[in-house]
């Protein structure tokens, strides 16, 4: 039986640098993907389960269309009322997938920004892992790009001529890259390079641009080196006190979109899905809550506990996900509800029908479609198929 089987990881909270606090991540489960607890751009990827594993949110079975994932505040949580707006804002960010050029605002709040920390942890709960080596690597400098430690079981790290870990000229020995990259090896690239699928986004360093030796990750150090405005992937581990990081850069959005290209890893086909997170209030109803969020006495700073299982070759899905934040920290709670950016486009699922020669068939094309803003949907036009004709009926069938 294909199940992911992970041992319990240690809940880690530590001060990584002056004024900087590490975000701990724990995967707890009873499944058979081996204990590659801290794998790359997608959780569950690594030497044990396969370096090319792509992880999908809870509920994905290989079918296209809208994938609804409910997000709840646990009834056991402290600060339930204060959590609502930050969590609803997180949901808007992950649903919109609209990256920005700069997402770091230092000195914006007093304390640790719940909304920023939750954005990172919810990312783990939908299948994303750290883009950098992070504290789980045990490296003193953990901004190197996420990778396995290779056949020698030791991370080989050398920042290369530019002296900056996690950039294009790193020398990594037999470490195997786990970070998916676009043709320019640019995790900050805007607009997003399309199509977002494995025809354009690759993991093997042999497919890097000429002159590059390793995949770059979207660190603030890399942004500064290239003269970009202050920015960092939200899935970079470590956060600053008094800083907000409430938006995605390109890397975070494309990782979700890459998973959304489905089991065939090709955009524009029938197994593509659109992730739609929904806020389900304070609840522990398993029929509503795919992701649970709680602030409580955890003994840790912040982590996401996940379970998973295989779904197709080289693909996994989340089966359980819970975010825990420690209740002893000086949390700042945003009180302003985010503008989701206006009306969002509907999500259309694939439809098909067959008919004998000289016959006809009605297809209810709206049955597997939805609109994130709950706007009513109708069919405005249809093109003729080969060797036939098609028209729109009054009831929105074709």
Per-residue pLDDT tens for 162-212?
Answer: 999 999 999 999 999 999 999 999 999 999 999 999 999 999 999 999 999
Give the residue-averaged pLDDT of 10-16: 26
User: Quick check: helix, strand or coil at residue 152?
Assistant: coil
Alpha carbon dihedral 248, 250, 256, 261, in 10-degree steps, equals: 160
Q: How many CB atoms lie within 10 A of CB 282?
A: 16
The single residue listed with the structure tokens 């700073």 is 301
**9 vs 153, more confident:** 153
State residue 85's pLDDT score.
Answer: 98
State percent of the chain over pLDDT 70. 83
pLDDT-derived band at 382, boundaries 50, 70, 90:
low
pLDDT-derived band at 380, boundaries 50, 70, 90:
low
Q: Secondary structure of 35-47 in the HEC alphabet? A: CCCCCCCECCCEC
Q: Strand 291-296 relative to strand 273-282: parallel, antiparallel, unpaired? A: unpaired
CA nearest to 315, candidates 36, 2, 22: 2
CA nearest to 316, candidates 136, 49, 30: 49
**pTM (whole model) above 0.85:** no
Give the residue-averaged pLDDT of 351-376: 72
pLDDT-derived band at 360, boundaries 50, 70, 90:
confident
Dig out the tokens for 110 from the structure.
């007093």
Please write the tens of the pLDDT for every residue from 290-346. Answer: 999 999 999 889 999 999 999 989 999 999 999 999 999 999 999 999 976 555 556
Phi, psi angle pair for 105, to nearest 5°: -125, 95
The contacts of residue 131 (CB under 8 Å, 6+ apart) are 40, 41, 145, 146, 179, 187, 217, 218, 233, 235, 236, 251
Give the residue-averaged pLDDT of 8-28: 31
State residue 389's pLDDT score.
Answer: 79
pLDDT-derived band at 366, boundaries 50, 70, 90:
confident
Q: Secondary structure of 351-368 in the HEC alphabet? A: CCCCCCCCCCCCCCCCCC
State residue 15's pLDDT score.
Answer: 25
State residue 8's pLDDT score.
Answer: 25
What's the CA gap between 261 and 255, in Å, rounded? 10
Please write the tens of the pLDDT for every residue from 202-243. Answer: 999 999 999 999 999 999 999 999 999 999 999 999 889 999
């Amino acid at each position: 039986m294909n199940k992911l089987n992970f041992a319990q990881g240690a809940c880690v909270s530590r001060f990584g640098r002056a004024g900087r606090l590490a975000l701990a991540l724990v995967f707890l489960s009873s499944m058979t993907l081996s204990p590659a607890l801290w794998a790359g751009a997608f959780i569950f990827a690594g030497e044990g389960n396969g370096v090319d594993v792509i992880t999908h949110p809870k509920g994905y079975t290989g079918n296209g269309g809208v994938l609804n994932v409910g997000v709840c505040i646990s009834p056991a949580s402290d600060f339930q009322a204060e959590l609502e707006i930050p969590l609803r804002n997180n949901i808007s960010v992950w649903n919109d997938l609209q990256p920005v050029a700069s997402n770091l605002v230092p000195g914006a709040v007093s304390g640790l920004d719940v909304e920023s920390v939750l954005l990172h942890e919810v990312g783990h709960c939908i299948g994303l892992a750290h883009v950098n080596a992070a504290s789980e690597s045990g490296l003193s400098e953990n901004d190197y790009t996420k990778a396995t430690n290779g056949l020698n079981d030791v991370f080989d790290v050398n920042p290369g001529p530019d002296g900056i870990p996690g950039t294009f000229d790193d020398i990594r020995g037999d470490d195997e890259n786990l970070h998916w990259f676009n043709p320019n090896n640019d995790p900050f690239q805007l607009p997003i390079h399309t199509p977002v699928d494995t025809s354009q986004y690759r993991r093997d360093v042999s497919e890097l641009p000429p002159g590059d030796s390793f995949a770059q990750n979207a660190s603030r150090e890399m942004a500064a080196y290239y003269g970009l405005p202050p920015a960092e992937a939200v899935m970079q581990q470590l956060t600053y006190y008094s800083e907000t990081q409430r938006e995605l850069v390109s890397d975070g959005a494309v990782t979700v979109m890459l998973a959304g290209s489905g089991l065939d890893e090709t955009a524009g086909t029938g197994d593509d899905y659109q992730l739609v997170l929904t806020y389900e209030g304070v609840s522990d109803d398993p029929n509503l809550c795919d992701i649970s969020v709680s602030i409580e006495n955890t003994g840790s700073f912040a982590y996401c506990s996940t379970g998973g299982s295989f779904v197709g070759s080289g693909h996994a899905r989340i089966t359980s996900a819970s975010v825990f934040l420690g209740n002893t920290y000086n949390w700042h709670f945003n009180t302003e509800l985010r503008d989701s950016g206006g009306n969002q486009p509907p999500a259309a699922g694939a439809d098909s029908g067959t008919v004998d020669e000289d016959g006809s068939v009605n297809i209810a094309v709206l049955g597997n479609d939805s609109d994130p803003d709950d706007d009513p949907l109708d069919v405005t036009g249809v093109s003729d198929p080969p060797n036939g004709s098609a028209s729109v009926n009054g009831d929105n069938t074709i």
